[in-house]
A and B are shown apart, each in its own frame.
Chain A
Amino acid sequence: MKPNISRLVQAVMLSMALPAALSMPAQANQWQVNGFVGQGYVAADGSEFIVGEPGDTFDVTEAALHLSWRPDENLRLAGAARYRQWGNLDESGLSVDYLFAEYKFILEQGYLGARGGLFKSEAGFYTSTRDVSFTRPGIMLPQSVYSDYLRDALLHITGGELFGGHPVFDGSLEWHLTLGDAQTSDDLTRNVVGSEAFGRFDADGYWGADLEYQDDSLRLGLTYFDAKSRYQSHLGGPFADGSLRSKHWIVSAQYRVNFLEITSEYLHWDRYVGGVFVPPELGILEVRGYGYYLDVRGYLPGDVELFVRYDHQVLDESDPDGDKLVATGVPGYFGYAHDWTIGTRWLPTKDWMVAAEYHKIDGAAWVTPILLPNPAVQDEDWSLFAIEISYKFQW
Chain B
Amino acid sequence: MRRLSTWMCLLGLCCANVFAAQVIVNSSVEIANISPKDLKLIFAMQKLYWSDGQKIHVFVLPSNSPIHEEFCYQQLEMMPYVLRHRWDRLVFSGVGERPVTLDSEAQMREKVASTPGAIGYVSGGGGALAVEAGIERQGGQDEAEH
Interface residues on B, range: 35 or more
A132 to B49, CA, bound (A): 28
* Docked-complex contact A97 and B94, CB < 8 angstroms: yes
Contact of A98 with B by CB under 8 A: yes
A394 to B99, CA, bound (A): 11
* Docked-complex contact B92 and A216, CB < 8 angstroms: no
B46 is contacted by which of A29, A66, A165 (Cβ under 8 Å)? A165
Q: Which of B7, B41, B51, B93 has the most CB of A within 10 A?
A: B93
Q: Which residues of A contact B85 (CB under 8 A)?
A: 135
A241 to B129, CA, bound (A): 64
B93 is contacted by which of A128, A165, A347, A349 (Cβ under 8 Å)? A128
* Docked-complex contact B94 and A78, CB < 8 angstroms: yes
* Docked-complex contact B92 and A64, CB < 8 angstroms: yes
Q: Which residue of A lies closest to B46 (CB)?
A: A172
Q: Which residues of A contact B79 (CB under 8 A)?
A: 299
Q: Interface readout for A19-44 with B: 1 if CB under 8 Å, 0 if not?
A: 00000000011001010100000000
A29 is contacted by which of B38, B49, B100 (Cβ under 8 Å)? B100
A106 is contacted by which of B6, B53, B88, B89 (Cβ under 8 Å)? B53
B98 is contacted by which of A119, A122, A299, A394 (Cβ under 8 Å)? A394
Chain A interface main SS type: strand
Q: Which residues of B contact A214 (CB under 8 A)?
A: 44, 46
Contact of A171 with B by CB under 8 A: yes
A100 to B44, CA, bound (A): 23
* Docked-complex contact A32 and B98, CB < 8 angstroms: yes
Instruction: Take A299-B79, A301-B6 as given contacts and tell me if A32 and B93 are in contact as well, using a CB distance cutoff of 8 Å.
Output: no
**Which residues in window 56-81 of A have CB below 8 A to B?**
64, 66, 68, 70, 73, 76, 78, 80
**Which residues in window 164-203 of A have CB below 8 A to B?**
165, 167, 170-172, 174
Q: Which residues of A contact B33 (CB under 8 A)?
A: none
A324 to B45, CA, bound (A): 50
Q: Which residues of A contact B95 (CB under 8 A)?
A: 119-120, 122, 128, 163
Q: Which residues of A contact B88 (CB under 8 A)?
A: 129, 132, 134-135, 392
Instruction: Take A172-B41, A301-B6, A350-B84 as given contacts and tell me if A119 and B94 are in contact as well, using a CB distance cutoff of 8 Å.
Output: yes
Q: Which residues of B contact A277 (CB under 8 A)?
A: none
Contact of A360 with B by CB under 8 A: no
* Docked-complex contact A73 and B55, CB < 8 angstroms: yes
The smallest C-beta distance from A163 to any residue of chain B, in angstroms, reads 8
* Docked-complex contact A100 and B94, CB < 8 angstroms: yes
Q: Which residue of B lies closest to A119 (CB)?
A: B94
Q: Which residue of B lies closest to A98 (CB)?
A: B94
Q: Interface readout for A276-316 with B: 1 if CB under 8 Å, 0 if not?
A: 00000000000000000000000101110000000000000
A175 to B82, CA, bound (A): 21
A129 to B87, CA, bound (A): 12
* Docked-complex contact A32 and B48, CB < 8 angstroms: no
**Which residues in window 84-114 of B have CB below 8 A to A?**
84-85, 88-89, 91-95, 97-98, 100-101
Contact of A104 with B by CB under 8 A: yes
The smallest C-beta distance from A112 to any residue of chain B, in angstroms, reads 11
A104 to B49, CA, bound (A): 10
Q: Which residue of B lies closest to A302 (CB)?
A: B3
Contact of B64 with A by CB under 8 A: yes
Q: Interface readout for A125-169 with B: 1 if CB under 8 Å, 0 if not?
A: 000110010110000000000000000000000000001010100
Q: Which residues of B contact A73 (CB under 8 A)?
A: 54-55
* Docked-complex contact B2 and A302, CB < 8 angstroms: yes
Q: Which of A29, A110, A256 has the most CB of B within 10 A?
A: A29
The smallest C-beta distance from A25 to any residue of chain B, in angstroms, reads 14
* Docked-complex contact B93 and A120, CB < 8 angstroms: yes
* Docked-complex contact A34 and B91, CB < 8 angstroms: yes
* Docked-complex contact B94 and A172, CB < 8 angstroms: no
The smallest C-beta distance from A26 to any residue of chain B, in angstroms, reads 14
Q: Which residue of A lies closest to B55 (CB)?
A: A73
Q: Which of B40, B82, B88, B115 has the most CB of A within 10 A?
A: B88
- Can you name 18 A-B residue pairings with CB atoms under 8 Å? A29-B57, A32-B91, A66-B91, A68-B94, A98-B94, A106-B49, A111-B48, A120-B95, A128-B89, A128-B93, A132-B88, A134-B88, A167-B47, A171-B46, A172-B41, A172-B47, A350-B64, A394-B91
7 shortest A-B CB distances, which residue pairs?
Answer: A128-B93, A73-B55, A132-B92, A172-B46, A301-B3, A98-B94, A350-B63
- Name 8 extra pairs, CB < 8 A, besides A34-B91, A302-B6, A394-B91: A29-B115, A32-B91, A73-B54, A129-B93, A132-B92, A163-B95, A214-B46, A349-B64
